[in-house]
Amino acid sequence: MAMYITDVIRSDMLKHARISFPKECCGFIVGNTMADKYPNGNHPNSNKLNDVNGRFYVACEPTFTPHCRWRFSVDPQLFQQVAAEAQELNLKIICVVHSHPNHSDLPSEFDRQHAIIGLNYLIISVCDGRVHSYNAWQLPDPSSVFVEQDIIRFE
């Protein structure tokens, strides 16, 4: 599976990660899947039906757990609000974005325990205030490990 994002999405989410440092940033990429565009499954390449296309990035303020600036959660009401606004545009949340300050872009065990099965996660590694790397992941089922997703930039 691949996630297609625009240069604007890339710029917005990386800037958000940089200005949030040393705290984690959190946001959503809103878009659609190829299956949404081809509901009858008649895409010429059926392997592409699970690909997702980002349309825009929504930055949000994470809720941090007491005593720790690295363990955040997304307010469920905010998630529902963004999902409802996306639905009005015939879109949906296709990815949760967050940063790992001074750590790699690999998902943590905490990330795995709190992941929504089948949703994409994009993790941005920010080291000393500079974006080091970013990668997209998906957890196929609760007992599995994250699977890396391709990120493809498009306009």
What DSSP string runs through 31-66?
A: EEEHHHH-TTS--SSGGGTT-EEEEEEEEEPPEEPT
Work out the number of other CB atoms within 10 angstroms of the CB of residue 108: 15
Domains in the chain, start-ordered, CATH in brackets? 2-153 (3.40.140.10)
- In this predicted model, what pLDDT tens digit does every residue of 56-106 receive, in sequence order? 999 997 666 555 555 667 778 989 999 999 999 999 999 999 999 999 999
Question: 5: which 2 tokens?
Answer: 């994002």
Which is nearest to 13 in space by CA: 120, 111, 123?
123
Residue 155 pLDDT greater than 90, yes or no: no
pLDDT given at position 3: 94
Residue 10 pLDDT greater than 90, yes or no: yes
What DSSP string runs through 54-99?
A: EEEEEEEPPEEPTT-SS-EE--HHHHHHHHHHHHHTT-EEEEEEEE
Residue 32 pLDDT greater than 90, yes or no: yes
Residue 48 pLDDT greater than 80, yes or no: no
Q: What is the pTM of this model?
A: 0.89
The mean predicted confidence, pLDDT, of the chain is 88
